[in-house]
Structure 1
Amino acid sequence: MMRITKISVLIGLLFLVLSACGNGASDDEKNAEQYLKQYGYQITSRQGQVEKYILEKSKLSASTENIPYQQSWGVQSVEPDRYFGKEITIYQFTVRNHPLEKKYNTETTVNVILCEGNVIGGASMPAQGNAVLMGAPYSLEGQTLEEINKMSYKEWSEKWIMKYGS
């Protein structure tokens, strides 16, 4: 009987140690969460790290496979140039209390962009369940590319191609 109790206690202690060590959130992800909380967004789910890449000018060129990068960087308040050659990490969350929630009457998925552990921005999209609705991303605050850049999409696109290539 005493042997079973000792084994139970050891298993319980092992479980506690493993669960304490494996909380799953990296420092970068915690930074991203804190950033979202500053906006008053309530995190309802975490998808974790969804992408990691080295930002190069070629990733922003006007080719079809680069459209997601162009659109995501197009809604940032910072120019991507200062991050060339650096590792970019993206964490994804589903949030409530976001401007897109009111506009589309649905959940919002946000991608928080970090470089070297520092949040540099993000993008948001209306979502239903685990599916992101189609369309271009909005800024982290729910603004369109046109609102952020204060020009039409056509004007922005022409300027983007001149700067980053076709």
Structure 2
Amino acid sequence: MRRYTSFFVLVALALFTLGCNQREVTGDERTAKEFIEGQGYRVNSFLGLLDKYKLSKSMLYGPDTAPYQQIWSVQETEPERYFGEEISVYGFVVTNHPLQKQYNAQTRLYIMLADEKVIGGYSYPDMEGLVGGVYSLDGKTLEEVTGETYTEWTVEWSRKYGD
């Protein structure tokens, strides 16, 4: 009888621990997660809300704008469409992504939402010490997304969003 009691206590403890590791995903984060799964990627962990900002032209050109330039350079849509809108960015660690094959590592996927809808995102290999820009949602480079060289893209970007 004592063995059965110990067994049931261990099972109950395991189920309790498993339940504690699960968290409810709601709102924009749920929308982002469902979008990711719809693309065929598997969510391994949640990084939560990582950024929230109101997009403006001044964020895209000039000093200290490189992160937003990189992010918006690999989007399928032009950033001016979202000027004045609040953008929320949720992060996830995923598998089954094209960058996983290229880098032999999980991928960090960042999903951007406005008005509760996915408007884009970007990806990055989940590796320490890797330096470089971000990739599109599906692992494409700036050159693959835009069809331009980095130099051509820089000239066009400066013309559109510079002073």
TM-score where L is the length of structure 2:
0.83
Runs of 5+ unmatched residues, structure 2: 1-18
**Structure 1 partner of 2:67:** 68
Contact 1:109 1:132 in 2 (8 A): no
User: Residues 8-27 of structure 1 correspond to what in structure 2 (within 5 A)?
Assistant: 23-27=23-27
RMSD of the TM alignment (CA)? Answer: 2.0
**Structure 1 partner of 2:114:** 115
User: Residues 24-39 of structure 1 correspond to what in structure 2 (within 5 A)?
Assistant: 24-39=24-39
**Structure 2 partner of 1:156:** 153
Identity in percent:
44
Shift of 1:151: 0.6
Runs of 5+ unmatched residues, structure 1: 1-18
Structure 2 letter corresponding to 1:51: D
Runs of 4+ in 1 over 3 A off after TM superposition: none
Separation of aligned partners in 2, 1:61 and 1:24: 38
Aligned to 1:144, which of 97, 120, 141? Answer: 141
Structure 1 letter corresponding to 2:56: E
Kindly indicate whether residue 47 of structure 2 is the aligned counterpart of residue 50 of structure 1.
no
3-state DSSP class of the match of 2:132?
coil
Separation of aligned partners in 2, 1:54 and 1:132: 30
Matched residues, number: 145
3-state DSSP class of the match of 2:140?
coil
Contact 1:47 1:91 in 2 (8 A): yes
Shift of 1:45: 0.6
Structure 2 letter corresponding to 1:105: N
Structure 2 letter corresponding to 1:154: T
Contact 1:100 1:108 in 2 (8 A): yes
3-state DSSP class of the match of 1:162?
helix
Separation of aligned partners in 1, 2:160 and 2:129: 30
Question: For residues 74-121 of structure 1, what are the alpha-carbon distances to aligned partners after superposition, in whole Å with 9 as ceiling and x for unaligned?
Answer: 000000001000000000000000000000111100100001110011
